[in-house]
Amino acid sequence: MIQQKIYALVLLLLFVIPAYSYAQKNEAFESGSYAAKGDTMPYRVLFPLNFDPAKKYPLVFVLHGAGERGKDNEAQLKYGAKLFLNETIRARYAAIVVFPQCPAEGWWSDVKMEDDSITRKTKFIFLADGVPTKPMQTLMGMVDGFLDKPFVDKHKVYIGGLSMGGMGTFEIIGRKPSVFAAAFAMCGGDNTLNAKKYAKKVPIWIFHGEKDSIVPYSHSESMVAAIKQEGGDPRYTLYMHDDHDCWDDAFAEPDFMSWLFSHSK
């Protein structure tokens, strides 16, 4: 009986301690909320170690996927936050990192989704020159708000995201190509006609899993071809064995951070 209780306690600690440690680390991201025209958007922001408001720092926005939508201002840190919390990364790349959270029923990009009766999968129809969604409008306002801060280096502003966030990344660099010094899009997509807006203006690293069962990798390959056709030079990484979770490998790329921060306007 005593052995059973000890075993149960060990199991409890195995699950509780990692969760507690994860929450503790996420506390380094301060909570914030952006409001404009009646719409609000929560966000978490990580300031550099030994932050000095008299200095100017690079600014990074990370857009989450559909599964992390809501208003708890926590779920959006599920993917990517660990990389930016790494002590070595924080010491080497002093930057302000922002994780906005899209509303539960919202979508970053202006894309239509239809159920394919044959494949029984969602079909993504990306629009050209579409009207920005409310979350996108609010996000753009948030970006402008951060750009007004005296401690932000306007020559080093970056954005990227995964899945729905990858789609949002393509869209926002098309709407604000003069703002972003570089971008990364993981398992996302866009209408190829939009490539001309940012092909020569925003360096981008595109990632996808060849076995992606949610967003076909053909969406990324189409954008790579379109950007090249418009005179751009996108970097593209296709993971042969990855499904929709290519972000795990993408964030683990050895030169991910050095590539991103090597660009400036």
CA 127: distance to chain centroid?
A: 20
Mean pLDDT, range 243-253, rounded to an integer: 98
Total number of domains in the chain: 1
Q: Please check whether residue 2 lies inside any domain of the structure.
A: no
Residue 122 pLDDT: 86
Amino acid at site 70: G
The DSSP code sequence of the chain is: -HHHHHHHHHHHHHHHHHHHHHHHHHTTSEEEEEEETTEEEEEEEEPPTT--TTS-EEEEEEE--GGG-SSSSSGGGSSSHHHHH-HHHHHHS--EEEEE---TT--SS-EEEEE-TTT-SEEEEEPSSPPPPHHHHHHHHHHHHHHTSTTEEEEEEEEEEETHHHHHHHHHHHH-TTT-SEEEEES----GGGGGGTTTTS-EEEEEETT-SSS-THHHHHHHHHHHHTT---EEEEETT--S-THHHHHT-TTHHHHHHT---
Tokens of residue 264, six digits: 């400036």
Are 143 and 179 spatial neighbours (Cβ–Cβ below 8 Å)? yes
What residues pair up with 237 in beta bridges, in sequence order?
207
Neighbours of 89 (CB within 10 A): 16
Residue 121 pLDDT: 77
Q: Please check whether residue 123 lies inside any domain of the structure.
A: yes
Q: What is the mean pLDDT of the chain?
A: 91
Whether the pLDDT of residue 57 is over 70: the answer is yes
pLDDT digits 0-9 by tens, 112-135: 988 765 666 788 999 998 899 999
Whether the pLDDT of residue 19 is over 50: the answer is no
- Lowest-pLDDT range of 7-21, 32-46, 120-134, 239-253: 7-21
Between 119 and 246, the higher pLDDT residue = 246
Q: Please check whether residue 17 lies inside any domain of the structure.
A: no
Domain interval for residue 54: 32-261
What is the C-alpha separation between 207 and 82, in angstroms, rounded?
19
pLDDT digits 0-9 by tens, 34-49: 998 788 999 999 999 9
Whether the pLDDT of residue 241 is over 80: the answer is yes
Mean pLDDT, range 142-152, rounded to an integer: 97
Residue 134 pLDDT: 96
Residue 119 pLDDT: 62
Tokens of residue 45, six digits: 């922001």
Mean pLDDT, range 46-56, rounded to an integer: 96
Whichever domain contains 80, its CATH number is 3.40.50.1820
Mean pLDDT, range 146-162, rounded to an integer: 98
Neighbours of 121 (CB within 10 A): 12
Q: Please check whether residue 69 lies inside any domain of the structure.
A: yes
Q: Please check whether residue 3 lies inside any domain of the structure.
A: no
Residue 129 pLDDT: 86
Neighbours of 207 (CB within 10 A): 27
Tokens of residue 246, six digits: 């290519």
The verdict on pTM exceeding 0.85 is yes
Q: Is the dihedral of CA 115, 120, 125, 131 positive or negative?
A: positive
Are 239 and 207 spatial neighbours (Cβ–Cβ below 8 Å)? yes
Q: Please check whether residue 64 lies inside any domain of the structure.
A: yes
What is the C-alpha separation between 263 and 234, in angstroms, rounded?
13
Residue 36 pLDDT: 85
Q: Please check whether residue 47 lies inside any domain of the structure.
A: yes
Whether the pLDDT of residue 18 is over 70: the answer is no
Collapsing DSSP to helix, strand or coil, 156 comes out as: strand
Whether the pLDDT of residue 218 is over 70: the answer is yes
pLDDT digits 0-9 by tens, 160-217: 999 999 999 999 999 999 999 999 999 999 999 999 999 999 999 999 999 999 999 9
Q: Please check whether residue 188 lies inside any domain of the structure.
A: yes
